[in-house]
Amino acid sequence: MVNHKLTGIIKENLDAMTANWAEEVTKSEVMSTYHKFDEASIRERGKAVFVNLAKWLEGGAKIHEVEEYFEKVGFTRLEEGFPLSEVHYAIYLSKKIFWNYVDWRDTVTGTFTTSSATQVMAVFNNYFDLSSFHVTNGYFRGLISKLDSYQKLTKNDLMRLFLKGNVVAGSDEDDDFVWRPV
C-alpha cells in the first residue's frame, strides 16, 4: 500500500519533479559538468532516476536490474568526464526533490501515517543507497579498465575524477583538502 502511494506521487508529479531536478542542477555551482549538456539531456537524466524509482517501488525492478542500471550510469558518467562527487550530488538532489514531494503531499493530504513512515523511509533509502553504491562500483570499474591507458595518474588527475565540485584545494604544496558544505 505504501509503495503504491509513493509510486502514485512519482507518476502524478514526474514532470514537475524532473523540472525541479533540472533547475537545481543548472543553478548549482557544484554541477559544472552537467552544465555542458543541453536542457533536454539534463531532464532526461533526472527523469530516468524517478522512473526507475517508480519501477523499484512497484516491485518491477529486481535487485540485479537496479545494480546493472546504476553501474552503467557510473561507467557512463566516467566516460563523459564527470567527477564522482558530481554524480553523487545528482543522486542527492534526486532524493531531496522526491522527499520534498512526499513531505508536501503528506502535509496536504495526511497520506502517510506514523506507522508507515518507517516503511517509506526504508524503501526510499534502500533505492538511493544502492544507487550510490552501484554508481560508485560502475565508476570504479570504468576507471580500472582505463588504468592501462594512463602513463601516470597525478594528484590533479585524481582530484578531477573524485573531488571536483565540493572541495577547496590548498596550494600545490598543501596536501590537505578543506571540505565545505554544498
The tens place of each residue's pLDDT in the chain, 182 residues long, gives: 567 778 888 999 999 999 999 999 999 988 999 999 999 999 999 999 999 888 888 876 677 888 898 999 999 999 998 999 899 999 999 999 988 887 655 554 566 555 566 666 777 777 788 888 889 988 888 888 777 776 677 777 777 777 655 433 343 344 444 444 44
Tell me which residue of 76, 68, 67 sits closest to 45, measured CA to CA.
76
Q: What are the structural domain ranges in the chain? A: 2-151
C-alpha cell at 169: 584545494
Phi, psi of 69, rounded to the nearest 5 degrees? -60, -50
CATH, domain range 2-151: 1.10.490.10
Tell me which residue of 166, 156, 162, 119 sits closest to 139, measured CA to CA.
162
Could you give the CA distance from residue 159 to residue 84 in angstroms, rounded to a whole number?
10
Could you give the CA distance from residue 164 to residue 43 in angstroms, rounded to a whole number?
22
pTM score: 0.74
